[in-house]
Amino acid sequence: MKVFTCPEIPFAIVNSYRVMKERCHKKDVSLFGLSAKASVAKALFGAVTVTFTFTDASERALKAVRQALFEQLKTPARIAGEVLIFHQKGIRIAAGLREEAYGCLAHILTVSFGHLPYRSWRYDTYQAYTDSLRAVWKTYTLYEKSIPGVSDGKLSAIVENESRFYLISIQKRSYRFYASIKKKEANATRISPLRTVKGRYHTLADLAKRLDTFFSETKEDDI
């Protein structure tokens, strides 16, 4: 029987629905210094999935869980949305923000003995892309609105400064860049579409060059 243990989890997790239902079904627990509710479900082919849903979904809480997992499990294997997926001897551990309903995010930690239903990127590929593209937008003093994430097989990032707002969407060989202009008004900031480009790229260096050109061409544009 497969077993997963973690110093932060108050009990061992095993690939038995009967055992895990007794141990944790809808049980309030404390792990990583955070309160959470534990639940168990059957996955495909008799596998078991145990999920801890944290009551705290703040950036502080996310960082605390991720740091502990990096220390114990090292580098994630894959990333989907804002969920990091670690592999350990056929067991998959997912941690991050998961959309439970439209516009409703939950901070979760899932241990699964089966496959996880995420469309994901390899984490080393994700790192290579984000490192390269970050180097571009930092030269234009643009700041990330949130950590770049992977959703439906696309890498997306939102970056901005005082006058510009950019959405970057990337697939394996194609891209879309969206630029908007920000103008402060009496009681709000108005964001108006400025320019959109799409195309295909061959290498990561090629993609970075195209993004640099897009920022250069739109940094002084006006409506």
Q: Give the pLDDT score at 89.
A: 85
What are 3's strand-pairing partners? Answer: 14
Looking at residue 32, what DSSP letter applies?
A: T
| Planar angle of CA 49, 55, 59, nearest 5 degrees | 100
Query: CB of 63 within 8 A of CB of 84?
Result: no
Phi-psi region of 90 (alpha: psi -120 to 50; beta: other; left: phi over 0): left
**Series of mean pLDDT values for 10-residue runs along the chain (223 residues):** 87 91 83 92 82 92 92 91 88 89 85 81 94 95 87 89 93 94 84 93 96 92 57
Q: Give the pLDDT score at 221.
A: 62
Query: CB of 171 within 8 A of CB of 154?
Result: yes
Closest CA to 7 of 28, 31, 24, 26: 31
Q: Which SS3 state, helix, strand or coil, does residue 202 take?
A: coil
DSSP 85-116: EEEETTEEEEEEEEEEETTEEEEEEEEESS--
pTM: 0.80
Q: Is 134 exposed, middle or buried (0-12, 13-18, 19+ CB in 10 A)?
A: middle
Q: Give the pLDDT score at 209.
A: 97
Whole-Å CA distances, 203 to 16, 24, 144: 45, 47, 23
Whole-Å CA distances, 53 to 28, 85, 106, 186: 10, 16, 7, 41
Whole-Å CA distances, 109 to 1, 2, 9, 17, 37: 21, 18, 11, 18, 10
Q: Give the pLDDT score at 22.
A: 87
**How many angstroms separate the CA atoms of 36 and 9, rounded?**
11
